[in-house]
Structures are given as structure tokens and as C-alpha cells.
A = this chain, B = another copy of it.
């Protein structure tokens, strides 16, 4: 299998990518199907081959917020499968019929354990992406706070 380009696999060598491809399975998912729920044990890491997946979080019982819409080939989600406590931090739903690449948590964990060079590259890529997301999320918080300050000033 040819792995799609994904931020997690940047700077890996071709043999390292082949080792990841060897533990990757392709799966068809129907529109509307949930892949996992926030808080569940993260048993699988996903890459999008084709289709659309929406990642959401619940604000309260009736309101969910979309956090990301994964549309591009190689878009990756379910990264809770890469770090302790191995829990999904968001819920994922297919919003189109989709083709996914699936990597079992136990398989990628074993690959990282036995090839620390591969592990160091993947984990560095992951940390970089998470730091970017953290900055974006803080930026959104600032916008909400600014809105609150302005609405308080006019109330």
C-alpha cells in the first residue's frame, strides 16, 4: 500500500514509511457513521484516503461544536492512539461515504518501541502539530474573551 502524505510521516525514510504501510488497513465507511466517541479508549489511528470526516466536541447535552473537518487525503485523526492515556479527545463522524486507512494502536506502539528513530520523528511531528493547534485554540479563546469584554462594556 502507498501511504498518503501526512504530517505525522514527514521526514520518515522510505523503508520507515513501508513499515507503517505494512500495518495499515483500508476500510470503507458510510456517510453518517460514527468512528469513535470522545472519551473512548483510542484503539485506532485514522488517515483519510477519500471522503469527509467531522471531529466534534459536546458543549452540553444539546450543543456540539465542530472542531475540524478532515477533507484532504492524508488528513489524520484519532491521535489519542499515539499517547497515554490512549483516549479519544473528540468524536468523529463520517459526513460523506469515505475510504479510511486504519492503524491499530498496538501495532504502531510496537513499531515506535522497536524503531526509536521512527518514533522520535513521528512524536516530534505530533508535538509540533499539537503546539500549533494549542496556539490556534488559545487564539479562539482570546476572540471569545474579547467578545465578552465588549458585550460587558455595552451592557
Contacts and interface: CB of A to CB of B under 8 A. Distances in A.
Interface of A: 57, 59-60, 63, 65, 67, 79-80, 82-84, 89, 112, 116-117, 119-120, 123-124, 126-128, 130-131, 133-135, 137-138, 140-142, 144-149, 151, 155
A120 B130 contact: no
A147 B149 contact: no
Contacts of A134: 89, 130, 133-134, 137
A57 B126 CA distance: 23
B128 A131 contact: no
A133 B130 CA distance: 9
Given A141-B137, A141-B140, A127 B82 contact: yes
A133 B141 CA distance: 13
A131 B89 contact: yes
A130 B79 CA distance: 12
Nearest to A128: B83
A84 B119 CA distance: 17
A151 B154 CA distance: 13
Nearest to A38: B135
A79 B117 CA distance: 21
Nearest to A82: B127
Contacts of A124: 83, 112, 119, 123
